[in-house]
Structure 1
Amino acid sequence: MRILLVEDDLNLADAVCSYLRAKAFIVDAVPSLAGARAALASARYAAVLLDLHLGDGDGLMLMPGLRTLPERPIVIVLTARDQVSDRIRGLDAGADDYLTKPYDPAELLARLRAVERRRSSVESATVRLGSLEIDLGNDQVRVHGAPVTLTQKEWALLRVMASRPDRIHSRETLLDALYGFDDDTDSNTLEVFVSRLRRKLGRSHIQTLRGLGYRLVPGDDAPDAGPETGA
């Protein structure tokens, strides 16, 4: 999942980015409305974490533009304003959730996952597809009951597909889940990570739809032998 953090407190932004990146999320951080609009014009985000008090205006000024996107991202408002009226204003503007500063990054992660499940119509944090079991709440994967170790990039790719297992995910959507603004990417990098996941999960679990993208499907074949390394 690629996330846009709109936060002008640079120390807080660094802490949140570090925490979420350690959980295999791709996070781009900007300190202003202008930066947010530029980021949204150049990349697709699954979620926006939005501070209200920004140097160039109220964060909620971003909401009309978010509503016009082909697929509106999850929006969680993060603010020091703790009045009930401010929460109501944020939710009425279209935010999915509201978290008051100071907050525990673990609570932010839990709310992000909860909203993600609601938006994707996935009732449980655990997705089961044949022999594959993906626990989105605890970042754990099992095949035939045996735990599978994934790199951060592999997990980032898998969680996007597992969050919407009914959907065909385009190359562009999956690349957005793997790389932020400051990352370099090769033209075949997605295929490399898909190949690694197939080795670890079993090849039949990831279906290729030529010209459209990839999706997770039930499967029952065993993973290939031998661990792989990578980013």
Structure 2
Amino acid sequence: MNNADAVRTRVAVVEDDDELREEILLPLLRREGFEAIGMPSALSLYRDLVATPFDLILLDVGLPDDDGFAIARHLRKAASKVGLVMLTGYASAPSRLRGLEAGVDAYLTKPIDSAELVATLRNLERRLDSRDAALPRIGWKLDELGWKILLPDGRSIELSLPERRLMAQLAATPREPVTREALMAVLAEDADDFDPHRLEMLIHRLRKKCLQATGQELPVRTVRGVGYVLAW
């Protein structure tokens, strides 16, 4: 992630103190090469997560609309790959333990030391890079027009229009969870009127088609409570 020609690491800075967020944290992280996006509340974070995958999340505990520990527990279940760093004024050992039990990767206290924050994010960034590099890649891909899934051995699987739309959405952010809402939005003009069971059935049938045609399972995994992820 640190190479000059690589995509910059995306960091969500969830902090309700506008001055700390806008005048200190965001400028610091952007100077260090991160793509830092600020947001003042849990609601803002959840809204952004629907459309934007983040690599790291810097999370304040005392947010106005939700408890940071509860947010961390939810994120750890919904997006297991994301790096979580908790930023808080609670320096006690019980609070630190509570944060670690919630699933955060690091627990930093205010007032924050800039060098410590950057070093923590860099270390976590390297750990995530190493973990991704260790994951096996199966080599499937879509053809240029998106109407076929191509296998490394030259075989292909033709897609219907709904399957094409589904796979295009998943392939836009491979290995990152895509919410059911985002998938339903590309399958229907009005996602609110789209029956979620139709999405499940579409994926079930596509998995079955791939298995029958190639003897291999479609690398689309269910992310409980969130949606689906394309693991190629």
SS at match of 2:27: helix
What residue in structure 2 maps to residue 116 of structure 1? 125
Q: Report if aligned partners of 1:66, 1:72 keep a CA contact under 8 Å in 2.
A: no
Q: Which residue of 2 aligns with 1:6?
A: 14
Partner of 1:83: 92
Post-superposition offset of 1:68 = 3.5
Name the CA distance, whole Å, in 2 between partners of 1:121 and 1:47.
15
Secondary structure class of the residue paired with 1:57 = coil
From the CA coordinates, give the structure whose radius of gyration is larger: 2
TM-score when normalising by structure 1: 0.52
- 2:42/2:71 contact within 8 Å kept: yes
Call closer, same or farther: CA 1:67–1:111 in 2, change over 3 Å: same
In the TM superposition, residue 57 of structure 1 has moved relative to its aligned partner by 2.2
| Offset at residue 67 of structure 1 (A) | 2.4
Highest RCO, 1 vs 2 (Cα 8 Å, sep ≥ 6): 1
Worse overlay, 41-50 or 55-64? 55-64
Task: Please give the per-residue CA displacement for 1:131-181, whole angstroms capped at 9, x wherever unaligned.
Answer: xxxxxxxxxxxxxxxxxxxxxxxxxxxxxxxx859887x7647xxxxxxxx
Alpha-carbon RMSD across the aligned residues, in angstroms, is 2.9
One of 34, 40, 43 as aligned partner of 1:34 = 43
- In structure 1, distance between residues paired with 2:134 and 2:19: 36
2:195 matched to which residue of 1? none
Structure 1, unpaired ranges of 5+:
123-162, 174-231
Aligned with 1:92: secondary structure?
Answer: helix
Structure 2 partner of 1:188: none
Residue correspondence of structure 1 range 13-162 to structure 2 within 5 A: 13-14=21-22, 15-69=24-78, 71-121=80-130
Shift of 1:64: 3.4
After TM superposition, the structure 1 = structure 2 runs for residues 164-203 of structure 1, keeping only pairs within 5 Å, are: 164=133, 172=173
**Which whole-Å CA distance do the structure 1 matches of 2:91 and 2:60 have between them?**
13
Deviation per CA, 1:168-227, whole angstroms, max 9, x where unpaired?
7x7647xxxxxxxxxxxxxxxxxxxxxxxxxxxxxxxxxxxxxxxxxxxxxxxxxxxxxx
**Contact 2:11–2:56 (CA<8 Å) still a contact in 1?**
yes
Deviation at 1:70, TM superposition (A): 5.1
> Which is helix-richer, 1 or 2?
2
From the superposition, tell whether residues 106 and 71 of structure 1 become closer, same or farther in structure 2 (CA, over 3 Å).
Answer: same
Corresponding residue number in structure 2 for 1:198:
none
**Deviation at 1:116?**
2.0
CA contact under 8 A between 2:56 and 2:82: conserved in structure 1? yes
Would the alpha carbon gap of residues 70 and 11 (structure 1) be closer, same or farther in structure 2, given more than 3 Å must change? closer
Q: Which residue of 2 aligns with 1:204?
A: none
Gaps of 5+ in 2: 1-8, 138-170, 175-232
Letter in 2 for 1:25: F
